[in-house]
Amino acid sequence: MEEMFRYSVEGIISLINEQLIQVDRQDLKAKTIFMSGGFSRNEYLYKRVGKVARHWRCKLIRGDDR
């Protein structure tokens, strides 16, 4: 399954990183990455975004009502 969604996951990770870079360039710091909707159910994506969050020293949370 991971291989099948690798392209999509890499795109999501890239978008998140780009947003965090834009925040950083403004001398600001993102504190939290919030995942919601159907994608937040995906454990593989959650783990991958978790790596990004740790790199940027952000908290990662997801909504309960997906």
Per-residue pLDDT reduced to its tens digit, 7-65: 999 999 999 999 999 999 999 999 999 999 888 888 999 999 999 999 999 999 998 87
* pTM higher than 0.85: yes
The domain segmentation of the chain, as residue ranges, is: 2-62
Task: Kindly write down the DSSP assignment for every residue of the chain, as one continuous string.
Answer: -HHHHHHHHHHHHHHHHHHHHHHHHTT----EEEE-SGGGG-HHHHHHHHHHHHHTT-EEEE-S--
pLDDT of residue 14: 97
